[in-house]
Amino acid sequence: MLAELALGATTLSTSGLGVWAHRLWHRLHTDPLTGLANRARMHRAFHRARRLRRSNSPLGVLLIDVDRFKHVNDTHGHRTGDAVLCTIATELQAATGPGELPVRLHGDELAVLLTRTDAGEVAEKRAAEIRRTVRGTRVIDGHPIELSLSVGAATTCPNSGELSDLLALADQRMYQTKPSRKAVTR
């Protein structure tokens, strides 16, 4: 694939090279199924925000897991599971704003990177808002699918901690919400 891309680059004009480079960057930093940013883009955005941050305001991450996703795949098949992920990705993109980067990490695990200056104050609030936004029954591939998300929020000061530490903390908090949310919804 890289050889094909390199060969394609040598046959492009100078003006076409910029378009080609943009397409390559997009391809390398975007999840092909959902169109959301991927882990590589999240990593770049996190480190860029740390570098450019003038204040000591925190950065944040919301880690999102699709509840009962395995059941959807087992019951309706992976094509429907993919359609569920695309539906959630569309709703997640619509629910996020400036300073919020929606990301597909892998499988049914998503995230929102909060680089906005008030990330420390709004992380928990944004987690609750996203849970409410992507909740309820949707007809997907002709099947009524009940959607709900478990969301864990974590923040860190820009000069301390790595993205992996922030994701691990958000993961712990997400799993702390799962049992209580399941008990409430049954």
**Computed from CA positions of residues 174, 130, 35, 68, in that sequence, does the dihedral angle turn out positive or negative?**
positive
Q: Pick the catalytic residue: 31, 65, 108, 171?
A: 108
Residue 108 designated active-site: yes
Q: Counting beta carbons within 10 angstroms of the beta carbon of residue 59, is it exposed (0 to 12), middle (13 to 18) or buried (19 or more)? A: buried
Positions of E strands within 14-167: 59-66, 100-106, 109-114, 136-140, 143-147, 149-156
Residue with tokens 């941050």: 53
Cβ atoms 165, 79 nearer than 8 A: no
**Tokens coding 146:** 């009940």
Residue with tokens 């925190």: 58
> So which residues are the catalytic ones?
108
